[in-house]
C-alpha cells in the first residue's frame, strides 16, 4: 500500500497544530505566571526582519490550507491575518483544523503529477508530490519550529517533547 499525498500532509498538519496549540498554551501560562505582557511573546522576533510569533501561526495555517486547496482542489476558507492575542491564535488553529478535517481523504488521489504553482507569484511550478513533500511540509514545519524557538527564546519552559507532541 502506498502513502497518499493526503496521508502525508493533512493528518501531519493536524498533529502539528495540536503541538503548536499546546506550546502556545504554555507560552500564555508562562507570561501570566511571570506578569509578562502577552505582547512580549506575541510580537517576539528572532531577528528584526523576521515575522513575529503571530505571523508564524498564520503561515502554518496558510500552508496547511493552501495544500488542500492547491493539491486537493477544495474551496479555500479565507482567514484574515488579524490575530493579536493568544485567544485569536488558538481560534485560528481551531478554524484551520476544522477546515482540514473537512477535506475529503480522496481529494488528492491521482494528483501526484498535477502542476502546482508556488505562491505568491506562481513563477515556480512543482508536481503535486514535490509541492507536498518539498515545499508544503518543510514550510509548515519551518514556521512551527520558528514559533517554538520564539517562545523558547523568551524563556517559556518547553522542550522537544512539547514540539513533537503526543507520540501515538
| Burial group, residue 106, by CB count within 10 angstroms (0-12, 13-18, 19+) | exposed
* pLDDT value of position 49: 95
Quote the pLDDT of residue 1: 61
Residue 114's contacts (CB-CB under 8 Å, 6 or more residues apart) are 71, 127, 128
Percentages of the chain per state (helix, strand, coil), in multiples of 5: 60, 5, 35
Residue of 146, 121, 125 lying closest to 57 (CA atoms): 146
The mean pLDDT value of the chain amounts to 95
Model confidence band, residue 121 (pLDDT cutoffs 50, 70, 90): confident
Is the CB of residue 61 less than 8 Å from the CB of residue 90?
A: no
- Residue 48 and residue 123: Cα distance in Å, rounded? 28
- How would residue 168 be classed by pLDDT, with cut points 50, 70 and 90? low
Average pLDDT over residues 67-86: 97
The pLDDT tens digits of the residues spanning 127-165 come to: 999 999 999 999 999 999 999 999 999 999 999 999 998
Which residue, 12, 144, 125, 146, is CA-closest to 68?
12
Domain span at 41: 5-164
Mean pLDDT along residues 26-31: 98
User: What average pLDDT score do residues 111-122 get?
Assistant: 89
Structural domains counted in the chain: 1
* Predicted local confidence at residue 17, as pLDDT: 98
Indicate the pLDDT class of residue 120, thresholds 50, 70 and 90: confident
Q: What percent of the chain has pLDDT over 90?
A: 92
CA separation for the pair 108, 135 (Å, rounded) = 16
125-127 and 115-117 as β-strands: parallel, antiparallel, unpaired?
antiparallel
Match 497518499 to its residue by C-alpha cell. Answer: 4
What is the CATH classification number for the domain harbouring 15?
1.20.120.450
- For position 12, what pLDDT does the model report? 97
Give me the pLDDT at residue 74, please. Answer: 96
* Percentage, residues of the chain above pLDDT 70: 98
Amino acid at each position: 500500500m502506498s502513502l497518499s499525498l493526503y496521508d502525508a500532509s493533512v493528518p501531519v498538519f493536524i498533529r502539528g497544530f495540536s503541538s503548536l496549540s499546546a506550546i502556545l498554551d504554555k507560552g500564555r501560562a508562562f507570561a501570566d505566571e511571570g506578569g509578562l505582557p502577552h505582547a512580549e511573546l506575541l510580537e517576539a522576533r528572532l531577528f528584526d526582519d523576521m515575522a513575529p510569533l503571530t505571523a508564524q501561526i498564520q503561515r502554518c495555517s496558510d500552508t496547511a490550507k493552501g495544500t488542500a486547496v492547491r493539491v486537493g482542489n477544495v474551496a479555500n476558507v479565507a482567514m484574515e491575518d488579524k490575530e493579536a492575542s493568544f485567544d485569536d491564535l488558538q481560534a485560528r488553529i481551531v478554524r484551520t483544523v476544522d477546515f482540514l478535517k473537512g477535506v475529503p481523504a480522496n481529494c488528492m488521489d491521482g494528483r501526484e503529477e498535477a502542476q502546482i504553482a508556488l505562491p505568491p507569484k506562481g513563477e515556480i511550478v512543482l508536481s503535486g508530490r514535490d509541492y507536498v513533500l518539498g515545499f508544503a511540509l518543510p514550510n509548515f514545519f519551518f514556521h512551527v519550529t520558528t514559533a517554538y524557538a520564539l517562545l523558547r527564546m523568551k524563556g517559556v519552559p518547553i522542550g522537544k517533547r512539547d514540539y513533537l507532541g503526543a507520540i501515538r
